[in-house]
Amino acid sequence: MQSGNSSRGAAAGPAADSIEGQVVAAYGQRLLVEDDEGRRYPAFIARRGLRVVCGDRVRWLAGDTADRAVVEQLPRSSELRRPDSRGRGEVLAANITQLVVVCAPSPAPDPFIIDRYLAAAEVMGADAAIVANKTDLAAALPAGLLEEYESLGYPVLRVSAATGTGLDALALLLREQRSLLAGQSGVGKSSLLNALVPGIEAATAGISAATGEGRHRTTATTLHRLSCGGELLDSPGVRDFAPALDDPRLAAAGFREIVAAAQECRFANCRHMKEPGCAVKAGVETGRISPRRYESYRRLLRLTEDLQQRG
Ligand SMILES: Nc1nc2c(ncn2[C@@H]2O[C@H](COP(=O)(O)OP(=O)(O)OP(=O)(O)O)[C@@H](O)[C@H]2O)c(=O)[nH]1
Ligand SMILES: [Mg+2]
Ligand SMILES: [Zn+2]
């Protein structure tokens, strides 16, 4: 249970006779909302054109109806967005402060997906960390992968949801943050959530569809409170991910070592592709910037330029 916080509930507005809280799960028009005392209610979107996602602050009509009628979505402090065919991008979660990218030896990691989540965090101004799960397995991650992220300054935690290794350190990382677990399907995001929040297993199973393999694949993003005071969002696994960027020039902002090196580029608007006097390309040649990360940057730049041309 969270202590009460009604100080923000008195705001005047079109929905004065309403209660403020947050969306803790969204399935299209159907929602689960939570008030600031931690009480949860089934809810639905009661205003045309209202689009809310997990993590959104919303208001619903006061009263004791079975399903709460959500009538207003409050401004977001951050959005995790991926591109969609219509240009503006699909918002996956709102108001998160930290992106935790989970990877494992199995399924085999895709470093481009990891880089793109890290880029999303950089661009949205959120903290980012890597969690390498399943350390109990004999198989290992590709040599040097985690060390590369460590050298860039990202916190890297080696954990096992199965044995509990590293979960204390993970709980510390999640303290006072509103974190989203992201990553490929099957890396163990929901297993980590279950290990960190005892007793929610049933709830997780209830909002997941069992697959033929006898495990629960997450189908919607859900928000959970941690005893340490943080909040943790579990999200469906992805086959691919890219951040939606309003401008291709933002691609470089997603890579902190490129941002640092770009200070020395001859041209302020250098794209770090073929421009003369490019300190980023020079950094790749001298080994200061990893060729793999640079290739990640180029792919994200190209993707964003392609999307912009189509839009
Ligand atoms: N050996 C081992 N297996 C694990 C560990 N964590 C999770 N698993 C297994 O990995 C499989 C996938 O775990 P999930 O927690 O469902 O993975 P997920 O990332 O939530 O997957 P999606 O919901 O599809 O995105 C399950 O069979 C888990 O039992 C671990 O630390 N060690
Ligand atoms: Mg899951
Ligand atoms: Zn450059």
pLDDT for position 215:
57
Burial of 149: CB neighbours in 10 Å, binned 0-12, 13-18, 19+: buried
Question: How many CB atoms lie under 10 A from the CB of residue 216?
Answer: 18
**Ligand 1 pocket mutation, candidates 110, 191, 232, criterion most atoms within 8 A of CB:** 191
Q: Exposure pattern of 33-68 as b/e (b: 16+ CB <10 Å)?
A: bbbbeeeebebebeeeeeebbbbbbbbbbeeeeeeb
Protein residue with its CA nearest to atom 12 in ligand 1: 186
Q: Where do the H-state alpha helices sit in the chain? A: 111-124, 145-151, 167-174, 189-196, 201-206, 256-262, 279-286, 291-310
Quickly list DSSP for 212-262: TTSSEEE-S-EEEE-TTS-EEEE---BS------SSGGGGGGG-HHHHHHH
Q: Which domains does the chain have, with CATH numbers?
A: 7-73 (2.40.50.140), 79-234 (3.40.50.300), 248-310 (1.10.40.50)
Residue 4, pLDDT score: 40
pLDDT at 84: 85
Note the pLDDT tens digit of each residue in 255-292.
Answer: 999 999 999 999 999 999 999 999 999 999 999 999 99
Report the atom number in ligand 1 closest to the C-alpha of 238.
25
Confidence at residue 212, expressed as pLDDT on a 0 to 100 scale: 43
Q: Residue 174 has which token pair? A: 């999640």
Q: Give residue ranges with CB within 6 A of ligand 1.
A: 133-134, 136-137, 160-162, 185-191, 215-218, 236-237
Render each residue's pLDDT in the chain as its tens digit; 311 residues: 334 444 444 444 555 699 999 999 999 899 999 999 999 999 999 999 999 999 999 999 998 888 999 999 999 999 999 998 776 789 999 999 999 999 999 999 999 999 999 999 999 999 999 999 999 999 999 999 999 999 999 999 999 999 999 999 999 999 999 999 999 999 999 999 999 998 776 444 334 444 444 457 888 999 999 998 899 999 999 989 999 999 999 999 999 999 999 999 999 999 999 999 999 999 999 999 999 999 999 999 999 999 888 87
